[in-house]
Amino acid sequence: MLSPSEIAALDRDDELAGFRDRFALPEGVIYLDGNSLGALPKATAARVAAIVETEWGTDLIRSWNKHAWVEMPRRIGDKIARLIGAAPGEVAVADSTSVNLFKLLAAALPHRPGRRVILSERDNFPTDLYIAQGVAALFGGGVELRTVVLPDEIEAAIDGDTAVVMLTHVNYRNGRVHDMARITARAHEVGAMMLWDLAHSAGALPVDLGGCDADLAIGCGYKYLNGGPGAPAFLYVAKRLQDRIASPITGWFGHAAPFAFDPGYRPADGIARFLAGTPPVLSLGALEVGIDLMLEADIVAIRRKSQRLCTLFQDLVERDCARHGLTLVSPRDADRRGSQVCFAHPDGYAIMQALIARGVIGDFRAPDILRFGFAPLYLRYADIAEAVAILRDILETRAWDRPEYHIRAAVT
C-alpha cells in the first residue's frame, strides 16, 4: 500500500496532470461525481459569453450562417465520434439521451419486423428502461421490454425474438463494463440490432463502436464530456443503416431541405435525419468546449489513469475503512470496471451527506450505494488519499449519524 510520498510521486509522474489547471474547480472540494455532472472547463465561460454577447446579441439571426450555428449538431458530433470509434458523419448532437433513445428504438423496431423484444437488463439506467417501456406501449402488437436480472445472463437471452439489444456499456450504479464486441457479435448472430448507451463511457474509456460493428448508440454530454448541466446528448447510427431507418420524430432539422419550407417531409441523407428541432446553440457551445478539451488528451492515457485512481481508492477504502460495513459492489478487476468505484452501506445516504459536508462530493444511488466517480483530467492521486482519510474519519466518529443527514433532498 502506498505511503504519502509514493502518492506524491504518482502525481509528479502523471502525464495528464496538466489538465487539472484547465478546470475551474472550487476550493475545498474533492469532486468524485464527474460521472454525474462533469466539472467546468475554464474556457467555457468565455465561449458561452461570446455566443451570448457576440453571436446572439450582435449578429443575431445572421449567426445561423455567419457562425455556422446550423452545423453545430454535426460538427460536434464528428468530434465525439473520435472518442467512441465512430466515423465522421455517424454521430450528431441533439436533444436529451432519453429523446435520442426513443428515436433510435422507434427507428430500429420496424427494421426487424416480426421481432417483438427489446432486450435489456433490470439494472440498466432507469430512463433507458422507461423509454423502452414507452416505445413498447406505443408500438403495441406484443412489443415488449424484456430484462435479465444478472448482466451475465444477457447473451443467453438474445434469441430470434430479439429485435434490439439495448444495454448501457458501463453500468451507472456499479461501474461494471459489458463486453461490447462479444455482445454485439452475439446480437448480430441471431439477427438482432445492437444499441449501446455510452453515458458512462464516452470520455472515460476507449470505445470502438466501428470495430465492434455496433448499430446504434446514444450518450450523454454532461458527464465525462464536461458539457454542463443538462447538456445536449448525442446519437450514433452506423453509416450502413442511416438511409435504411428513419426517426419517428420528423422535425424540420431532419428534413432534406429544412429551409425550402416544403409541406411534405423528406428525411435528410445521413445522420442529419435524426435531428428534430432547432439546435440549442448556447448549450451546444458549452458542450463543444468540454469535448475540445477532452480531445487534447489521449483516451488511452485517460483510461490508464482512471484505472489507477479507481484501484487506489478501492484499495485504500478496503484497508482503512474495512470495519465499518462497506461492501464493494463495483468489479474488483479494473478491466471490467468503468471509471467509478461503488460501495454499498445500509446508511449510504447519510454517509454521503456527511462526506459532502466535508467537501468530498460523491453520489448516492438508491437504495444503498455510495458511488465515487473518477475523472482523470482533473483528479490527483492525492485527492484520492485525502477523500479516503475523510471517509475513514466520518465512519470512525459516526459523524454521519446526525438527523439532518438522513433528510432526503429533492434530487439525490
Binding residue count for a second copy, defined by CB under 8 A = 93
Burial class (CB in 10 A: 0-12, 13-18, 19+), 75: middle
Among 229, 319, 398, 406, which residue interacts with a second copy (rule: CB under 8 A)?
229
Binding to a second copy by residue 263, rule CB under 8 A? yes
Among 8, 17, 43, 70, which residue interacts with a second copy (rule: CB under 8 A)?
70
CB of 329 to a second copy, least distance (A): 14
CB of 372 to a second copy, least distance (A): 13
Among 37, 91, 209, 317, which residue interacts with a second copy (rule: CB under 8 A)?
37
Site for a second copy in 381-410 (CB under 8 A): 409-410
CB nearer to a second copy: give 49 or 301: 49
CB nearer to a second copy: give 5 or 58: 58
Binding letters toward a second copy, positions 179-218, x by CB under 8 A? ----------------------------------------
Site for a second copy in 270-299 (CB under 8 A): 276-284, 286
Active-site residue numbers? 125, 197, 222-223, 371
Binding to a second copy by residue 363, rule CB under 8 A? yes
361 pairs with which residues across the strands? 31
Among 249, 291, 350, 388, which residue interacts with a second copy (rule: CB under 8 A)?
249
C-alpha distances (whole Å) from 241 to each of 11, 88, 185, 238, 314 are: 45, 14, 17, 6, 42
Binding to a second copy by residue 348, rule CB under 8 A? no
Could you please report the per-residue DSSP string of 195-240? EEE-TTTTTTS---HHHHT--EEEE-SSSTT---TT---EEEE-HH
Closest by Cα among 126, 116, 195 to 154: 195
Helices (H), 277-327: 281-296, 299-320
153-156 contacts at long range (C-beta below 8 A, 24 or more positions apart): 153/121, 154/119, 154/121, 154/178, 154/183, 155/182, 155/183, 155/186
Cα separation, 378 vs 198, in Å, equals: 21
Which 3 state secondary structure label does DSSP give 140?
coil
C-alpha distances (whole Å) from 85 to each of 208, 209, 236, 265, 321 are: 4, 5, 10, 31, 39
CB nearer to a second copy: give 182 or 406: 406
Among 9, 18, 57, 243, which residue interacts with a second copy (rule: CB under 8 A)?
57
Site for a second copy in 109-148 (CB under 8 A): 122-123, 126-127, 129-131, 133-135, 137-138, 147
Binding to a second copy by residue 89, rule CB under 8 A? no
Which 3 state secondary structure label does DSSP give 42?
helix
Binding to a second copy by residue 40, rule CB under 8 A? yes
Site for a second copy in 146-175 (CB under 8 A): 147, 173
CB of 117 to a second copy, least distance (A): 16
Among 12, 142, 150, 259, which residue interacts with a second copy (rule: CB under 8 A)?
259
Which 3 state secondary structure label does DSSP give 349?
helix
Q: Which three cell numbers stand for residue 95?
A: 436533444
Query: 3-state DSSP helix/strand/coil percent for the chain, to nearest 5?
Result: 45, 15, 40
Burial class (CB in 10 A: 0-12, 13-18, 19+), 206: middle
CB nearer to a second copy: give 212 or 344: 344
Q: How far from each other are the two terminal CA atoms of the chain, in whole angstroms? A: 33
CB nearer to a second copy: give 85 or 279: 279
Scanning 12-20, 44-52, 157-165, 309-317 for contacts with a second copy by CB under 8 A, the matching segment is 44-52
